[in-house]
Amino acid sequence: MNQIIIHVDMDAFYASVEIRDNPELRGKPLIIGSLPQERGVVATCSYEARKYGVHSAMNIKEAYRLCPMGIFMHPNFEKYRAVSDQLHTIWNAYAAASEYIALDEAYLDVTETAGNWERACEFARRIKQRALDELGLTCSVGVAYSKTAAKTASEEKKPDGYFEIPDVETFVNLIVDRDVRVLYTVGEKTAEKLNRMGIKTVRDIQEHSYEIIRSFGKQGQWMTQLAAGIDDRKVSPYKPEDAKSISREITFQEDVEDNSFIADVLLLLAISVERRAARVNLYGEGVTLKVTFSDMKNITRSRLIPSSRSAIVIYEEAVRLLEQVPQKAVRLVGVGIYHLTGEYGRQLRFDDFMPEVKQQQDEKTRQALERLGQRYGLDFAGNLDKVFHGETLYRTIEYMRRHRFVQ
């Protein structure tokens, strides 16, 4: 039996969750991301805001120019992750394998669980209905013979859509006269290059396959296969250890030239990284530091370490890396761990035999955090869990930045 794949894409996910929880926002142009007076971009927005030309990844000031009457909110990622976990429970009830693309999007392989096309379509309708009944959220769902066709199907009737593409012929007939950007492998730059070659539609790709393969190599070969409806990729379940790194970064609302303050920020970011790594039971064998200067130049520094996810280890290594960075105005700073390994994928370390080493590391972290709190007049001990929620961490660091010269 051929593959049967369902693609689920929640409609304006962050915005929809906020509207669900506050019905007064319904029907209004809601923009989730930074606030108009801040640096940053749009994470997502309601469909009412999209009518004004606002879209994801747009500079927040441009979004405000287009939609000054919009309601701007910071994202609440902890809330969205919790809702995403509920969605995963629904999706996994029907799929033999689930590939999560983001908190709100997934490919589901229902080839074996459904057994036939009709039952797969029934699964897809149930998924839509359960998301609405149990979580109060709408989604767009596509059922198809391949991943590419399933994603195309889910986008066909957005929002709150449902569409089926049962075979190659149906897929090709649907897209053949559409812009080349309909193929997921074709981004903006690739489309521009194709257009310069006189190739503007999928039909053009089909008719000029030789030239495309000659110009684009493997990407061109893949492009021509998709234009012919060929996509044999399997649904690959996500595993935390497949991630390349775990990191956390912060953009300052005003540039900072004080490396001692940046080092203080690194402690909070390191603790956040430790918490994320512990949540998925992973360790890192390297620490990386990312810095974006006021002129938007990015640099990264990294170094290998014995396998660890200890905040104090990450922090101390990050500070050493910071000492290698030119001291000038900084816009963004981030820290992370890479070369990730699981509990059973790493070599035994000294502290596996000496548990007190971990206790000492935790105590050093606690002491460093206590000193940080005293320096800025903050009580981390009583509010630690709240501090590391996305928006609260951002507000805490901004408070520290504004009060760093207050003794």
Residue type, 287: V
DSSP character string of 257-288: --HHHHHHHHHHHHHHHHHHHHHTTEEEEEEE
CB distance 229 to 171 below 8 Å:
yes
Residue ranges of E strands in 309-403: 330-338, 341-342
Element (H, E) at 167: none
| 3-class state of residue 192 by DSSP | helix
Shortest CA distance to 82 belongs to which of 14, 154, 11, 12?
14
Tell whether the torsion through CA atoms of 8, 13, 18 and 19 is positive or negative: negative
CB distance 29 to 71 below 8 Å:
yes
Distances (CA, A) of 143 to 5, 150, 178, 279, 376: 6, 5, 20, 33, 54
Out of 105, 164, 274, 317, the active site residue is: 105
Calpha distance 245→6 (Å, rounded): 28
Distances (CA, A) of 260 to 64, 226, 272, 397: 34, 52, 19, 13
Catalytic, 105? Answer: yes
Backbone angles phi, psi at 324, to 5 degrees: -90, -5
Element (H, E) at 301: strand 298-308
Beginning with the edge strand found earlier in the chain, give each strand of the sheet holding 105-109 in spatial order.
Answer: 97-102, 105-109, 5-10, 139-144, 162-165
Contacts of 285 (CB under 8 A, 6+ apart): 304, 305, 306, 307, 337, 338, 339, 340, 341, 346
Paired residues of 335 in beta bridges: 248, 289
| 3-class state of residue 404 by DSSP | coil
Catalytic residues: 105
